[in-house]
Amino acid sequence: MAALGWLTPRRRSATARSVLAGEAAAEAARKTSQEQQEQKELEELHGLLAAPSGKPAEPAPAFPVVGDDRAAAFFDLDNTVMQGAAIFHFGRGLYKRKFFQRQELARFAWQQAWFRLAGVEDPEHMQDARESALSIVKGHRVSELMSIGEEIYDEYMAERIWPGTRALAQAHLDAGQKVWLVTAAPVETATIIARRLGLTGALGTVAESVDGVYTGKLVGEPLHGPAKAEAVRALAAAEGLDLDRCAAYSDSHNDIPMLSLVGHPYAINPDAKLRRYAREREWRLRDYRTGRKAAKVGIPAAAGVGAIAGGTAAAMALHRRRR
């Protein structure tokens, strides 16, 4: 049985690194949100924004509560707002631009399939994913990756936004509330997605940079699991939010710490563990997948069969050698 330990899910609680990652994400999110607000005000000043259509507003639903400025909404990204994993789509774009080789793309595909299908956050696999991503961006300028990220969004991500989840986010915006993405994806990628969707901002994994150049290190740890909850808690304190009046949305049982923080948790396209947990606690559920997609939950939409198979075989062979 000991040999099967790597298949057993591990329960994780917030650590000092989780808190550091959460606080760093909250600080980065508030900074980018402020910059976006300043840009919006500048555009309004110059009359660049479209004029109102003049159509009468439709009656607002009971929730979210219109005008409640102490409420906000927090949305997980992967398979909640967008089909597939943002980091994988970003990796595809970097591969297309010759940032790394084919075998590394297969590795990306395997890692994403493993996390989603096995439901296991094995430290060895998490470390592999983190190191591969950091090694790719090390030495590149932040501004360069941001510019490329804009292109990658148009190429791979825009068409994978779930319309149903997007409508939920818009309902909060229409009620005058702030809406944040909360994701383990790099904060730069998450910020681009949030801006393109018209959201307030994003909490994401913060990679260290010096003089605008990535060092290949993280600030704290990836914004995942308990670290997401710490980020939401830190942002809520800074923004003066009442978490009991806030909402959170996710597809994964790994985000139960974040969902449990708020008064209005939603399970969106939930995995089996979250669906069961949500039903036991009478949380609201929404599923925007077809039956076939629901059965295949988590396989990166952009991952070809060959990439998945090749990455899986390579990763399993690597695991056997390590054992």
Which positions are annotated as active-site residues?
76, 78
Question: In terms of DSSP bridges, do strands 247-250 and 264-268 run parallel, antiparallel, or are they unpaired?
Answer: parallel
Longest dimension (CA), the chain: 68
Residue 9 has phi, psi (to 5 degrees) of -60, 140
Taking the C-alpha atoms of residue 76 and residue 228, their distance in angstroms, rounded to an integer, is 9
- Report the DSSP beta bridge partners of residue 82: 78, 161
Taking the C-alpha atoms of residue 226 and residue 245, their distance in angstroms, rounded to an integer, is 20
Single out the residue of 265, 196, 197 nearest to residue 229, CA to CA: 265
Calculate the alpha carbon distances from 194 to 74, 111, 180, 214, 269 in Å. 11, 24, 7, 22, 20
Tokens at 59, concatenated: 């009656």
Q: Can you tell me which residue has the tokens 């595909």? A: 109
Tokens at 219, concatenated: 């600030």
DSSP string, 219-282: SSS-S-THHHHHHHHHHHHHHT--GGG-EEEES-GGGHHHHTTSSEEEEES--HHHHHHHHHTT
Calculate the alpha carbon distances from 55 to 49, 51, 52, 170 in Å. 17, 11, 8, 17
Tokens at 76, concatenated: 């997980």
List all residues 6 or more positions away from 198 whose beta carbon is below 8 Å from its beta carbon: 170, 173
